[in-house]
Amino acid sequence: MERFSMTIGGQAVAASRAYAVINPASGEAFAQVPAGEVAHLDAAVAAARAAFPTWSRTADSERQALVHALAGLLETNMPELMQLVTKETGKPLGGLNGVGAGMEVGGAIAWTHVTADLELPVEVIQDNAEARIEVHRKPLGVVGSITPWNWPLMIAIWHIMPALRAGNTVVLKPSELTPAATLRFGELANSVLPSGVLNVISAEREAGVGEAMASHPGIDKIVFTGSTPTGRRIMASAAGNLKRLTLELGGNDAGIVLPDVDLKEVAGKLFAVTFHNNGQTCACLKRLYVHDSIYEPLCQELARLARAAVVGDGLHEGTQLGPVQNDQQRNYVSELVEDARAHGARVLSGGRARPGAGYFYAPTVLADVTDGMRVVDEEQFGPVLPVIRYSDIDEVIRRANDNPNGLGGSIWSQDLAKAAQLALRLECGSAWINEHGAIQPDAPFGGVKQSGIGVEFGHYGLEEYTSIQTLKIMKS
């Protein structure tokens, strides 16, 4: 049984009791972590506030070097962190098209290096004989980070690194389901960071630590990745001290396939962008609209790929898809599939939980589904793809946009100019042509409508961890 500590004020901290972390491939505990309480949050916030004045005044070049050093720690400890990510999330070490724990840790390294090299230069608005006006970006203070269970380490890095780069200090609480890799990173990071700059606490949901973070008067900004209902609650709680917010919330991304595609080629790409990480990614493709002329053959090819996918323990070589991360989520996926079946959907592959140990669900392709079915209207967040027939392009754009979410969307066509025009009509924060969900550390990413507030990545994301101060110097 592996054991981990919280990190508060640079010190390893236990709690009065611990709780078990479950490996979803077996349904059995593999680690124990501290069951933190609101008192631990208060201590972490106090440590972060005490560290902020010195950290925020640290030379920019020194902060940059320390963030690069954190990337080095991730790289040095990559094998250990990959194992922890696989054990707590179920995602394979390699995975479908290389999307697995290796990509998660490797992506965390890349994001850290790119973020370290971002700059926030002073902008000069006016400089003449009368006056000089400068716009400065200043750190906010203490950033509270709340991360989800699907990409626990990489999303923590997305939150932590721009906060530190801009001169903020951080209190991080990972999901109670997947805290191990993040706690371990907190231990490693504090071997190079000054005490109190990065604090990592773990807690069960019932302890109310996440809710306390959202309303805590000592936290100046909350960055949260997770469900839309939780994001709404955080937004309401944050009003007490007008916290800044970055919320990356649910997505129910639509993809639209035009009739001119190469069917065999596009099917493999569509399968990959839908089913990697078992569909447990906010920006996975989750609703696929296919033109009537190619509907049946594309459905059958997707189903063939689903039946051929290697599902199993992520620690085993060759596994492409692992389990659903937790039994509650697997039950929800099953509920959506059964509802679709009851309303006339054809189950072309999967459609059932795998018997035996672990939280496995067979990769599922559904045909003859329609808008209005729960499996289309709700975010499945699991290994399920509903394929919806269309004939009119203007009508399908309207249908794709008729959803409260607006994270991502895609158009699939050999006519790139036409596809780009259609993509710009999608109501989403990111749109892709012949791709879906591909993000990178220098391009902004965020949602519209109910999919969030603010953006992450690149200089746009870095600016969200700062306030603007205008300095006017009179010369006469």
**103-115 tens-digit pLDDT:** 999 999 999 999 9
3-state SS class at 255: strand
Residue 412 placed within a domain: yes
Residue 240 placed within a domain: yes
d(CA 333, CA 336): 5
User: Based on the domain organization, do 187 and 156 belong to the same domain?
Assistant: yes
Residue 446 placed within a domain: no
**166-204 tens-digit pLDDT:** 999 999 999 999 999 999 999 999 999 999 999 999 999
Q: How far apart are the first and last CA of the chain?
A: 71
d(CA 216, CA 251): 28
Question: What does the angle CA 405 – CA 292 – CA 97 come to, to the nearest 5 degrees?
Answer: 60
Residue 317 placed within a domain: yes
| Active site positions, annotated | 248, 282
Residue 142 placed within a domain: yes
Confidence tier at 386 by pLDDT (50, 70, 90): very high
Question: What does the angle CA 102 – CA 153 – CA 218 come to, to the nearest 5 degrees?
Answer: 165
d(CA 171, CA 174): 10
Residue 374 placed within a domain: yes
**189-245 tens-digit pLDDT:** 999 999 999 999 999 999 999 999 999 999 999 999 999 999 999 999 999 999 999
User: Based on the domain organization, do 345 and 457 belong to the same domain?
Assistant: no
- Cut 0.95: pTM above it: yes
Q: Which two tokens stand for residue 365?
A: 């392709």
Query: Can you tell me which residue has the tokens 């000592």?
Result: 218
User: Based on the domain organization, do 347 and 291 belong to the same domain?
Assistant: yes
Q: Which two tokens stand for residue 224?
A: 């949260």
The domain that holds 315 is classified in CATH as 3.40.309.10
User: Based on the domain organization, do 235 and 328 belong to the same domain?
Assistant: no
User: Based on the domain organization, do 296 and 160 belong to the same domain?
Assistant: no
Nearest residue to 379 via CA among 287, 445, 448, 453: 287
Residue 111 placed within a domain: yes
C-alpha pair distances (Å), 303 with each of 159, 172, 364, 385, 387:
37, 40, 7, 10, 11
Exposure of 336 in the CB half-sphere (CA atoms within 13 A): 26
3-state SS class at 339: helix
**116-162 tens-digit pLDDT:** 999 999 999 999 999 999 999 999 999 999 999 999 999 999 999 99
User: Based on the domain organization, do 425 and 295 belong to the same domain?
Assistant: yes
Given a contact cutoff of 8 angstroms between Cβ atoms, the answer to whether 230 and 224 are in contact is yes
Query: Can you tell me which residue has the tokens 């989403």?
Result: 428
For the chain, the domain total comes to 2
User: Based on the domain organization, do 216 and 320 belong to the same domain?
Assistant: no
User: Based on the domain organization, do 212 and 82 belong to the same domain?
Assistant: yes
User: Based on the domain organization, do 12 and 159 belong to the same domain?
Assistant: yes
pLDDT (0 to 100) of residue 476: 83
Residue 328 CB contacts under 8 Å (≥ 6 apart), including other chains: none
Encoded amino acid at 315, one letter: L
User: Based on the domain organization, do 182 and 312 belong to the same domain?
Assistant: no
Residue 171 placed within a domain: yes
Q: Cα–chain-centroid distance for residue 50?
A: 29
Nearest residue to 87 via CA among 4, 127, 30: 30
d(CA 82, CA 166): 28
User: Based on the domain organization, do 232 and 272 belong to the same domain?
Assistant: no
What mean pLDDT is reported for the chain?
Answer: 97
User: Based on the domain organization, do 329 and 232 belong to the same domain?
Assistant: no
The domain that holds 199 is classified in CATH as 3.40.605.10
Structural domain that includes position 236: 2-249+451-474
Instruction: Please state the length of the chain.
Output: 476
pLDDT (0 to 100) of residue 359: 98
Confidence tier at 332 by pLDDT (50, 70, 90): very high
Query: Between 250 and 406, whose confidence is greater?
Result: 406
Confidence tier at 339 by pLDDT (50, 70, 90): very high
